[in-house]
Amino acid sequence: VIYTSGTTGRPKGTLIEHKNVVRLLFNDKKLFDFGPSDTWTLFHSFCFDFSVWEMYGALLYGGKLVIVPPLTAKNPADFLALLGREQVTILNQTPTYFYQLLREVLTDHPYDLRIRNVIFGGEALSPLLLKGFKTKYPTTKLINMYGITETTVHVTYKEITWVEMEAAKSNIGKPIPTLRVYVLDESCR
């Protein structure tokens, strides 16, 4: 059970079933090429649904999971050092924190980053702000995912390319396999 308030501000317990976690990660296999050579970080609190994706993404694919110390998570320079030292390949971040980390990434740092995928979630993304990272790391995939705790972390997938960055428009993409998205008006029609 993960407690979430979503947009209401009123905490509620949300049941995350094991079968939904497996469905999320193994149906994403067509979207991702996660494997045993990947290194992930457990950056987020286990009270935040993003941690489900981080923990089980690493463990179900046989990868390595690096638990980020709380003080390191609060300091983008220290976190950047950890990413280089641990050779992290899969990075999961909220856009707000990634923008702080990005300032460190764009400096002349001594770290050889091996990040293959940056997966965003938890809040709206501003693709325009990613241009500096994409220029410095052109082979890294930038992926915007959207979902709510009740749907087991992620519902949609969208790779952010130069097209989205130039248009400066956030796009949550299309549903991941086995899920559907409905756009309703205020009358739920």
Residues 40-70 have pLDDT tens digits of 999 998 878 888 899 999 999 999 999 999 9
Element (H, E) at 111: none
Q: How far apart are CA 106 and CA 133, in angstroms?
A: 7
List, for residues 115-128, the tens digit of each pLDDT value. Answer: 999 999 989 999 99
What's the CATH number of domain 2-175, 2.40.50.1020, 3.90.190.10, 3.40.50.12780, 3.40.50.300?
3.40.50.12780
pLDDT at 103: 95
Strand 12-14 and strand 2-4: the pairing is: antiparallel
Q: Residues 77-99: what's their mean pLDDT?
A: 97
Domain boundaries, the chain: 2-175
Tokens at residue 10, please? 């009123």
pTM for this entry? 0.91
Question: Alpha helix (H) ranges present in the chain?
Answer: 18-27, 50-60, 70-73, 76-85, 95-105, 131-136, 162-167
Q: How far apart are CA 34 and CA 27, in angstroms?
A: 12
Q: How far apart are CA 45 and CA 69, in angstroms?
A: 11
pLDDT at 65: 98
